Amino acid sequence: MLGNGMSRRIVLAGGSGFIGTFLQERLVADGYEVVVLTRFPHDPNGRVRQCRWDGQTLGDWTSELDGACALINLSGRSVNCRYNERNRRDILESRVNATRILAEAVARSKDPPPVWLNASTATIYKHTFEQPMDEATGVIEATPEAKDVFSIKVARAWEQALNEAPIPTTRKVAMRTAMVFAVNRGGVYRTLRSLARWGLGGPIAGGHQLISWIHEDDFCRAVEWLIDHDDLGGPVNVASPNPLPQRDMMRVILRERGMPFGLHATRWMLEAAAYIHRTEAELILKSRYVVPAKLLESGFKFHFPRMEDAVHEIESRLHGKLSPRPQHSGSREPQSVDL
C-alpha cells in the first residue's frame, strides 16, 4: 500500500478479463483508484473508471498515465484457442503492440508512472521435469515435443517489447505468471473442476508433467508487493513455490470435490479433445517447473503455498461458505481408472 501524499491511481490495461476482474476489485478494496484501458468501455459498477483505447495507437487515454502510481498491462488475445495462422498473429500482435504503444505513451508522459508491471508467462521456460526454473538460472528454449515453439516465440517478443521501452525513470517488471487459480469463470480452475466433476480428472499423458500455478489472492498480493518494492525489476516469476505433477494436482481436486476416481487420458485423447474444444494440448502437456526465487528472496510470504489449501479455499467460496476441510471416509485417496 502506498503512503499518504502519493498518487493512488493505477492504470490497468487489459483489465476487463479474467485476471483483471479480480485484480481491480482487490486494488479498489486496498484504496487505489483504478482506470481500466479497454477496447469496449462500459460501466459495470462505477467503482473503476474505464477508458477507451485500441491497444495499438496513441489517444486520449495516454493522459491517464500522467501522475499514475503504477501501470499494469494484462492485454492480449486469449491463448485458449486453436493456433491457426490468424489466431497466432492475433496472440502475438495483441501482446507486442499493446506493450509497444504503452512504452511510447510512458516515454511521452510528463509525469510517468514510477513502475510498470507487464504480463508475461511462466511458459517462457523450457519444458522440464528436473530443473527448477528461477529467474537467474532458468533456461528459455522451446521443446518440439512440448509443442511450445510458438508460445516461447510470443513470450520472448513480449518481454523484448518491454525491455526495449526507452523509459529510464520507470521500473519495469515482466510478470512470468503461472496458471492463476481463481473462482471466476474463464480461468483454468473452473475447467479442471468440471473435468473432475465428470470423472475425467485422472492423469493425462502419464501425468508426470509439472504444473506451476498460483492462487488469485497470492497473485494480487504479489502485484502489490512488486509495486511497493523498488528493488524488484526485470523478470519475476509469479508462481506458488510448490509446483506439482498433473496427476497429483487432479488428485487434490478430485479429493476436494469428493469424487472417488478420475479416468486416465492418453496423449492422443488429449489432442483429440483439444481439437474438439478448439484449444491446444500444449496448455496441459508442457511441464512447467517454475519457482518464485525473487519473490521469496525479497521476503514475500504466500498465503496459499500448497495446492490443497488453494483448492479448498476456492471450493469453499464456490459453495458460498468458508467451510472446514471436508471429511473423507478413512484416508481413501481418489483412484485413477484406465479407459
Ligand X SMILES: NC(=O)c1ccc[n+]([C@@H]2O[C@H](COP(=O)([O-])OP(=O)(O)OC[C@H]3O[C@@H](n4cnc5c(N)ncnc54)[C@H](OP(=O)(O)O)[C@@H]3O)[C@@H](O)[C@H]2O)c1
Q: Which residues bind ligand X (CB under 6 A)?
A: 14, 16-20, 38-40, 55, 74-79, 94, 98, 119, 121, 177, 179-180, 186-188
Residue with cell 510448490: 242
Secondary structure (3-state) at 223: helix
175-196 burial code (b ≥16 CB/10 A, e <16): bbbbbbbbeeeebbbbbbbebb
How near is the Cβ of 268 to ligand X at its closest, in Å?
26
C-alpha 250/C-alpha 244 separation (Å) is 10
CB within 8 Å of 16: residues ≥ 6 apart: 36, 38, 40, 50
Q: Where are the beta strands (DSSP E) in the chain?
A: 9-13, 33-38, 49-52, 70-73, 115-121, 171-177, 179-181, 210-211, 213-215, 234-238, 244-245, 261-263, 335-337
In the bound complex, what is the minimum distance in angstroms from residue 175's beta carbon to ligand X? Answer: 8
Q: How many CB atoms lie within 10 A of CB 28?
A: 15
Closest CA to 111 of 15, 9, 20, 33: 9
Least Å distance between CB 240 and ligand X? Answer: 12
Q: Minimal distance in Å, beta carbon 100 to ligand X?
A: 12
H-only helix segments in 13-148:
18-29, 85-108
Q: Which is nearer to ligand X, 101 or 259 (CB)?
A: 101
Helix (H, G, I), strand (E, B) or coil at 172: strand
**Minimum CB distance to ligand X smaller for 17 or for 245:** 17
Taking the C-alpha atoms of residue 301 and residue 303, their distance in angstroms, rounded to an integer, is 6
Q: How far is the CB of 18 from ligand X (least distance, A)?
A: 4
180 vs 223, which CB is nearer to ligand X? Answer: 180
CB of 118 to ligand X, least distance (A): 9
329: its cell numbers: 471416509
Task: State the residue number with the nearest CB to ligand X.
Answer: 17
Residue (117 or 250) nearer to ligand X, CB: 117
CA distance readout (Å), 332 to 87, 254, 329: 44, 12, 6
Least Å from the CB of residue 47 to ligand X: 16
Question: Measured from the CB atom, is 50 or 264 closer to ligand X?
Answer: 50
Cβ proximity to ligand X, 36 vs 167, nearer residue: 36
CB nearer to ligand X: pick between 179 and 227: 179
Query: C-alpha grid cell for residue 15?
Result: 483489465
Which residue, 192 or 259, is less far from ligand X as judged by CB? 192
Task: Tell me the closest approach of the beta carbon of residue 80 to ligand X, in angstroms.
Answer: 8
